[in-house]
């Protein structure tokens, strides 16, 4: 009998846990919708030549390194940035300022993420206060000086084309490697 009561308690706990899990899932639907705009806007850039034709150019850091990684934490990959979009303080899910590609062993580049970038000076000159947001997430401020030799900027990665175990919007993806770029 006590076993039966325990079973009932377990069931109640299990149902509670299930509801707790499902509630955030429902609220996450809005984020899914936003990231679908990002995917729709960038799907054509699986073709690197299409990205180049649209104004995305190879970005290297101040040391000339193209493939950005953080050993022990994860990689980003190779960034292609659109200068016109970077200089514009607006943020649009479908038109990221940068596209991030992971070098593949066969020499190809695989589109893995979008990066949204706003120069802090442009953001503030446009009369904005606070921090840019997208997908319900706040951008991170990268102060100057930084490894890219850029003025202070806000940025947000969205790993819309490759799963990131650290989360959709983390800067680093442990499943992304620059190893193929160095071989």
Query: Binding of other proteins at residue 24 (CB under 8 A)?
Result: yes
Binding mask 58-87 for other proteins (x = CB under 8 A): ------------------------------
Query: Binding of other proteins at residue 167 (CB under 8 A)?
Result: yes
Query: Binding of other proteins at residue 52 (CB under 8 A)?
Result: no
Rounded Cα gap, residues 50 and 131, in angstroms: 31
- In whole angstroms, the minimum distance from the beta carbon of 166 to other proteins comes to 8
Q: Count interface residues toward other proteins (CB under 8 A).
A: 26
Q: How far is CA 18 from the centre of its chain?
A: 28
End-to-end Cα distance, the chain: 66
Which one, 48 or 150, has the nearer CB to other proteins? Answer: 48
Query: Binding of other proteins at residue 12 (CB under 8 A)?
Result: no
Among 35, 82, 120, 177, interactor with other proteins by CB under 8 A: 35
Rounded Cα gap, residues 57 and 170, in angstroms: 23
Among 62, 108, 125, 138, interactor with other proteins by CB under 8 A: 108
Which one, 26 or 63, has the nearer CB to other proteins? Answer: 26
- In whole angstroms, the minimum distance from the beta carbon of 119 to other proteins comes to 25
Using CB under 8 A as the criterion, which residues of the chain lie in contact with other proteins when the complex forms?
Answer: 21-22, 24-29, 31-33, 35-37, 39-40, 43-44, 46-47, 108, 135, 137, 167-169
């Amino acid at each position: 009998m006590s076993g039966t009561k325990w079973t009932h308690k377990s069931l109640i706990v299990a149902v509670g846990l299930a509801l707790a899990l499902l509630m955030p899932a429902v609220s996450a639907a809005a984020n899914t919708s936003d990231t679908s705009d990002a995917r729709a806007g960038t799907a054509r850039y699986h073709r690197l030549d299409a990205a180049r034709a649209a104004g995305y150019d190879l970005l290297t850091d101040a040391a000339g390194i193209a493939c950005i990684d953080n050993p022990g934490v994860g990689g980003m990959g190779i960034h292609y940035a659109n200068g016109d979009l970077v200089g514009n303080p607006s943020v649009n899910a479908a038109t990221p300022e940068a596209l991030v590609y992971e070098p593949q062993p066969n020499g190809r580049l695989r589109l893995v993420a979008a990066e949204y970038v706003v120069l802090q000076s442009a953001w503030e000159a446009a009369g904005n206060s606070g921090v840019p947001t997208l997908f319900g997430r706040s951008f991170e401020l990268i102060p100057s000086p930084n490894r890219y030799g850029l003025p202070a900027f806000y940025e947000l990665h969205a790993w819309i084309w490759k799963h990131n175990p650290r989360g959709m919007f983390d800067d680093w993806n442990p499943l992304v490697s620059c190893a193929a770029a160095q071989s």
